[in-house]
């Protein structure tokens, strides 16, 4: 869901920017867990080459979702070789059900990530919209970060997502070790 204009929150120097399931606190840390549900890309030679590489990498990782493939290739030397400036978006501004933005004064978007099943997503999205409408109806004096927050996730739970992601995290670390040994 989009709540306010995200453009002022984008990094001016980045070619490719992506929301995260988990944000480590650093915009360029490859340990961030990107989520392909929201990204902003400048169309240039670097980003075009990056998308070609990402697309072709699905053959290297058959059976994996594009987001998983991105997690594997984000550390590949090719990214540095083409000069792509990749930035991970802070969950304070670009939250999701994995890691909700706790400050409704800052949030621009919220993503229904870490959620399985349409019923669960719709349930939590409806609550999210109710929370946002409630926030907008408050007088300015009550719109303090410590006073108002989301009531989600409820049916969407991070623990389920993490248990299913252990395999992908293991492959991610193996991929990092491989690329480090190749360099």
- How far apart, in Å, are the Cα atoms of 7 and each of 94, 135, 155? 11, 22, 30
Q: What percent of the chain has pLDDT over 70?
A: 85
Euclidean distance between CA atoms 71 and 33, whole angstroms = 7
Instruction: Write out the two tokens for 80.
Output: 């540095």
Q: What CATH number is associated with residue 53?
A: 3.90.550
Q: How many domains does the chain fold into?
A: 1
Instruction: Give the separation between CA 14 and CA 131, rounded to whole angstroms.
Output: 32
pLDDT tens by residue, 37-79: 899 999 999 999 999 999 999 999 999 999 999 999 999 999 9
Res 84 pLDDT > 90 = yes
Residue 67's contacts (CB-CB under 8 Å, 6 or more residues apart) are 34, 35, 36
Paired sense of beta strands 33-41 and 86-88, if any: unpaired
Residue span of the structural domain in which 26 resides: 1-183
Of the candidates 122, 18, 22, which has an alpha carbon nearest to the alpha carbon of residue 79? Answer: 18
What radius of gyration do the chain's Cα atoms show?
Answer: 18
Confidence of residue 177 (pLDDT cuts 50, 70, 90): low
Q: What is the pTM of this model?
A: 0.83
Q: Give the pLDDT of residue 141.
A: 85
């Amino acid at each position: 869901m989009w709540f306010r204009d995200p453009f002022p929150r984008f990094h001016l120097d980045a070619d490719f920017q992506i929301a995260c399931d988990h944000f480590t606190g650093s915009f360029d840390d490859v340990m961030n867990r990107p989520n392909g549900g929201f990204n902003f890309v400048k169309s240039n030679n670097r980003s075009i080459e990056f998308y070609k590489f990402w697309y072709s990498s699905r053959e290297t990782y058959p059976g994996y979702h594009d987001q998983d493939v991105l997690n594997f290739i984000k550390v590949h030397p090719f990214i540095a070789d083409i000069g792509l400036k990749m930035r991970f978006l802070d969950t304070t501004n670009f939250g999701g059900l994995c890691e909700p933005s706790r400050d409704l004064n800052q949030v621009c978007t919220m993503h229904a990530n870490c959620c399985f099943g349409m019923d669960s997503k719709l349930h939590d999205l409806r609550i999210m919209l109710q929370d946002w409408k409630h926030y907008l109806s408050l007088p300015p004096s009550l719109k303090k970060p410590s006073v108002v927050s989301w009531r989600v996730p409820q049916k969407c739970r991070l623990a389920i997502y993490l248990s299913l992601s252990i395999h992908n995290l293991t492959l991610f670390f193996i991929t990092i070790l491989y690329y480090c040994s190749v360099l």
